[in-house]
Structure 1
Amino acid sequence: MRRIEALAAISEDAQGVTRTFGTPAFLQGSALVKSWMDAAGLSTRLDSIGNVRGRLVSRAAGAKTFVIASHIDTVVNAGKYDGPLGVLMGLDLLEQLVQSPVELPFHVELIAFSDEEGVRYHTTYLGSKVVAGSFDFNLLTKPDAQGISLTQAIDTMGGNAQLLPADALAADQWLGYFETHIEQGPVLWERNIPVALVTAIAGQQRVELTWQGMAGHAGTVPMHMRQDALAGAAEFVLAAEQFGVANTQELVATVGKLDVRHAASNVIPGEVVCSLDLRSADAARLATAYDELHHHAQGIADRRNLKLHWNLIQYTAPVSCAPEMNTLLAQAITESGYAVVPLVSGAGHDAVPISAVSPATMLFIRCFKGISHNPLENVELADVAAAVQVAERFLQLLFSHYSSSSH
């Protein structure tokens, strides 16, 4: 927890915690995490996308790699725990391994991913996609708000975009992946249970909707003759909410951005851009919901004599956690004296791209009222201690499962 506080003190602004990919504050935070990994006796390095990687090497012939990871970048005005808690818990686990006499049946690598939140380049999982071997090289020319390309940012960080492929862990080298993370939801808080077993991570579709009408004078255009783009967008905002409420067991739907172009109090809005964030753990339902809301939006536009541009920005498929890993993690939770609470994660995590190349599992930790992406984000010491206990038992079960005596 002292390390959490030390890392949180490094920020781009004095008020909250802000460490976005590649900034001086981010690099300072990375250096601190690397120094802790070095002090723990790990074989450490910074890779070309800025991931901090610390490794414990097994002497077993043909050993594969088990990765423990989370991220150390943040959203703007973030809390202290989203990402860093998982990294620093992993460091705690590896420190214990260094001091114990156990013979490792596989390599263990701790990774502090450089970019999960995607704030600077409006992408997600830059760090984990490099490690998974699924990085999109078309992103290298993408500029940030200041016009700095991703390639330039990588250069500034001391990396080399040409070497990114070498930073991937080959698919045949993965043994498994484990990530601990605050829940970012209120279920554990309400039930007063410290940890939960993540069974799946919801898929998501992000859409940008542009509503085009006709700007006009607020005092002279009769109500029945208006093409009010904001009124159309407002109708859709409420329709999306109602759709989410009606299908609450299957999905969530959110409009989080609304941009009224050339806004003025005496002007009928002529163009409005809004977002749609649609999430479900059921891929088929996600697809049908997407079509239904698109159809609904078009109906609103037609009825109001507006033009609608519907642009899919991002699609991420739902991910199921690996059954074998989850069985062992559930056993670790039970043997640590806690109830097994299965949860679907509505938020995305680095486990999503990693799951394409490795069996992946996640442990959620109770957080204050489920608040996240907010300076009020908080965890209790007892819950962190419970999570460390569960994670340590999980590693012991993995060792016994994969040691030569079990084969």
Structure 2
Amino acid sequence: MENYSTRAEKVLARIHELAAISEDPDGITRTFGTPAFLRGRALVRGWFEAAGLSTRLDGIGNVRGRLVSPDPRAKTFVMASHIDTVVNAGKFDGPLGVLLGLDLLENLLARQAELPFHLELIAFSDEEGVRFHTTYLGSKVVAGSFDQGLLSKTDAAGISLAQAVETMGGNVAALAADAIPADQWLGYFEAHIEQGPVLWERNIPVALVTAIAGQRRVELTFRGMAGHAGTVPMDMRQDALAGAARFVLAVEQFGRQNKAGLVATVGKLDVRHAASNVIAGETTCSLDLRSADAARLESAYEALFAQAGDIAAGRNLTLHWNPIQHTAPVACDANLNALLARAIADSGYPVVELVSGAGHDAVPVSFVAPATMLFVRCFQGISHNPLENAELTDIAAAIQVSEQFLVSLIRTPESC
């Protein structure tokens, strides 16, 4: 029997080693292009090279390792996830998929198997979008959908994305050439912690992802009139914070009333020139809407836009509604999912189907290639948090299932 536990121990050791590299000595933070990110990327690249992969850094900073098929007509199958993090992150979100994929290729090389297609393992440079408030920078370059207009976006220090890419050794002029042409894709596979509690509660190690929810993100600014907290009568105030607070509660109520297939969140609130004795004149907040149903997502967006306008008008405030992101829901590929479901069942686990509420690099890739995803159980469903954890036995199960899937794909590449 294959020693999946021993292999999982090696994956876990690498995850811990990568997690020790951080911008924050008290947590795990590696945002795109920072010195900590570059050190982590160098570590991962070293592992790719030591495994015997043909390795390079592309223009946006992705680490790309490749096994080449002898077939001159071969297409490319990609296994990938990301190595950037949110602020004060966990260890497993992203790196688990990259380092599990590395284990698969290491063992494939040891068996000297002849490939009917090229295999490419990619550690994407930026999925979380923390620094430039963008998402999927790395995977959009590989998928050929990178928006050149993003290069002028700036971070909190005023550094543009183009400057950041060049500083980290990338090449903005080469981004288009770094894409895998659409006709050269065979498919895409990503393993990722669930980031939700379903598998934890059911004590099941892995699940099949059927779809990834679409997202609408908005930045809203309510503007009123700043004033003295002791001298402006209550019925004469234009309190921007009170308006934003009313909107926060409206979003929560809307989400609860429409909880079948939709989530709605305000996660950020910024009061300009905040002071305890000042009526807020300007308050900005976020809105995050997610659903796997495109029509439901659009109707929620329009309904909350209308509610925000009504709240502003009723309190004599002005509203600035700034759309930040619009990502359509995507369905995972039926053929690849059938192959992955068979691998789960053949490995002795129940086939649980889940919709991902979180976004993944599989989203931009799915527009040019068949894509499938495997979820791995995580502690209490906690993610984007230092408590994030995946147990050794669950990682071993994920390796077993992923290897079964890959071996079946090598035997029947027409499954894509």
Classify the TM-score, shorter chain: over 0.9
Give the aligned residue type for 1:300.
I
User: Counterparts of 1:310-329 in structure 2 under 5 Å?
Assistant: 310-329=321-340
1:356 counterpart residue number: 367
2:312 counterpart residue number: 301
- Cα distance in 2 for residues equivalent to 1:323 and 1:114: 28
1:371 counterpart residue number: 382
Instruction: Write out per-residue CA displacement over residues 55-106 of structure 1, whole angstroms, 9 at most, x where no aligned residue.
Output: 0111123110000000011111111100000000000000011011422111
Residue 47 of structure 1 pairs with residue 67 of structure 2: no
Aligned identity (percent) is 75
Instruction: Write out per-residue CA displacement over residues 235-280 of structure 1, whole angstroms, 9 at most, x where no aligned residue.
Output: 1111100110111112000001111111111111121111110111
- Cα distance in 2 for residues equivalent to 1:103 and 1:393: 16
- Cα distance in 2 for residues equivalent to 1:116 and 1:223: 45
Match of 2:140 among 100, 117, 129: 129
Select between 22-31 and 216-225 the one with higher mean Cα deviation. 216-225
1:260 counterpart residue number: 271
Give the aligned residue type for 2:274.
A
Match of 1:38 among 42, 46, 49: 49
**Shift, 1:141, TM fit:** 2.1
Residue 188 of structure 1 pairs with residue 199 of structure 2: yes
- Cα distance in 1 for residues equivalent to 2:244 and 2:213: 26
- Cα distance in 2 for residues equivalent to 1:269 and 1:183: 39
Residue 83 of structure 1 pairs with residue 94 of structure 2: yes
SS class of match (1:91):
helix
Instruction: Write out per-residue CA displacement over residues 325-361 of structure 1, whole angstroms, 9 at most, x where no aligned residue.
Output: 1111111111111111111111111001111110000
Instruction: Write out per-residue CA displacement over residues 78-137 of structure 1, whole angstroms, 9 at most, x where no aligned residue.
Output: 111000000000000000110114221111000000011111111111111110011111
- Cα distance in 2 for residues equivalent to 1:302 and 1:156: 46
- Cα distance in 2 for residues equivalent to 1:43 and 1:311: 43
2:391 counterpart residue number: 380
SS class of match (1:285):
helix
Give the aligned residue type for 1:402.
P
2:33 counterpart residue number: 22
- Cα distance in 2 for residues equivalent to 1:302 and 1:165: 46
1:13 counterpart residue number: 24
Give the aligned residue type for 1:400.
R
- Cα distance in 2 for residues equivalent to 1:231 and 1:32: 48
Residue 337 of structure 1 pairs with residue 348 of structure 2: yes
- Cα distance in 2 for residues equivalent to 1:141 and 1:294: 28
SS class of match (2:412):
helix
Give the aligned residue type for 2:286.
S
Instruction: Write out per-residue CA displacement over residues 118-159 of structure 1, whole angstroms, 9 at most, x where no aligned residue.
Output: 111111111111100111111222222222222222222222
Match of 1:233 among 244, 252, 257: 244
TM-score (norm 1): 0.97
Residue 399 of structure 1 pairs with residue 404 of structure 2: no
1:74 counterpart residue number: 85
Give the aligned residue type for 1:374.
N
**Shift, 1:314, TM fit:** 1.0
Moved over 2 A (4+): none
Give the aligned residue type for 1:317.
A
1:57 counterpart residue number: 68
SS class of match (1:384):
helix
- Cα distance in 1 for residues equivalent to 2:175 and 2:277: 52
- Cα distance in 2 for residues equivalent to 1:307 and 1:333: 54
Structure 2, unpaired ranges of 5+: 1-11
**Shift, 1:21, TM fit:** 0.9
2:9 counterpart residue number: none
**Shift, 1:166, TM fit:** 1.2
**Shift, 1:383, TM fit:** 0.3
Structure 1, unpaired ranges of 5+: none
SS class of match (2:254):
helix
Give the aligned residue type for 1:40.
A
Instruction: Write out per-residue CA displacement over residues 10-67 of structure 1, whole angstroms, 9 at most, x where no aligned residue.
Output: 1112111111111111111111111111111111111111100110111123110000
- Cα distance in 2 for residues equivalent to 1:164 and 1:292: 38
Instruction: Write out per-residue CA displacement over residues 271-321 of structure 1, whole angstroms, 9 at most, x where no aligned residue.
Output: 111111011100011000101111111111122221111111111111110
- Cα distance in 2 for residues equivalent to 1:281 and 1:398: 28
- Cα distance in 2 for residues equivalent to 1:37 and 1:313: 35
